[in-house]
Amino acid sequence: MSGTNPATPGAAPGPGAGPSAGPLDLSMMARALALADQAANLGEVPVGAVVYRTSDGTILGEGFNRREINKDPAAHAEFAAIMGACRAIGDWRLNGCSLAVTLEPCPMCAGLIVNARVGRVLFGADDPKAGACRSLFAITTDARLNHRAELVAGVMAEESATKLRSFFRGLRARGG
């Protein structure tokens, strides 16, 4: 699935412009959004992620942001989902898998995506401050690296962005 990545930094994700999300992908992103809610309920920035088998949608790993609870800078949603999927299948290679994550992965997670050979990455909202799939960097589609993931940006982006906005609005209201 890798190797055909028309997505470039700043490219519009409009329909028909390369790979798109199917019904299975959308249901997985809905699951990721529910996981983001779990993070928010714990006072964490609401980001959720699911890794699933691309062929049949079997969920292999899930995660949500737990950075504050775990006191762990690596406790990002997609990091946990990828590690969980590798444990589930007993392999570090996730070529046949897709990752749905509600926020554009950061450089650390984009690096893990490349190292885990994740076949497809679908994300919701762009992250202009840390995004490493197209906003600041395009690590997951960089031809200089030895793996490229198929990238679908902007999947249910508004739902994801709304959760993030309301979370931060709540923080400010509480003086946090």
Is residue 78 annotated as part of the catalytic site, yes or no? Answer: yes
- CB of residue 106 to Zn ion, shortest distance in Å: 3
Contact status: 132 vs Zn ion (CB under 5 A): no
Choose the binding region for Zn ion from 5-13, 18-26, 74-82, 144-152 (rule: CB under 5 A).
74-82
Contact status: 76 vs Zn ion (CB under 5 A): yes
- CB of residue 17 to Zn ion, shortest distance in Å: 25
- In whole angstroms, how far apart are CA 147 and each of 2, 5, 39, 115? 7, 11, 30, 8
3-state secondary structure 28-94: HHHHHHHHHHHHHHCCCCCCEEEEEECCCCCEEEEEECCHHHHCCCCCCHHHHHHHHHHHHHCCCCC
- CB of residue 79 to Zn ion, shortest distance in Å: 6
Which residue is nearest to Zn ion, using beta carbons? 109
Q: Cβ neighbours of residue 9 under 8 Å, at least 6 residues apart?
A: 134, 135, 137, 138
State which residue, 109 or 149, has the beta carbon closest to Zn ion.
109
Residue in 78, 104, 150, 158 annotated catalytic = 78
Backbone φ and ψ for 168, nearest 5 degrees, come out as: -70, -30
State which residue, 53 or 67, has the beta carbon closest to Zn ion.
67
- CB of residue 174 to Zn ion, shortest distance in Å: 25
State which residue, 26 or 75, has the beta carbon closest to Zn ion.
75
Q: For strands 120-125 and 150-152, give the pairing.
A: parallel
Backbone φ and ψ for 137, nearest 5 degrees, come out as: -135, 170
Interface positions, 92-121, toward Zn ion (CB under 5 A): 106, 108-109
Contact status: 66 vs Zn ion (CB under 5 A): no
Q: Which residues sit at the interface with Zn ion, rule CB under 5 A?
A: 76, 106, 108-109
Q: Tell me which residues are annotated as active site.
A: 78
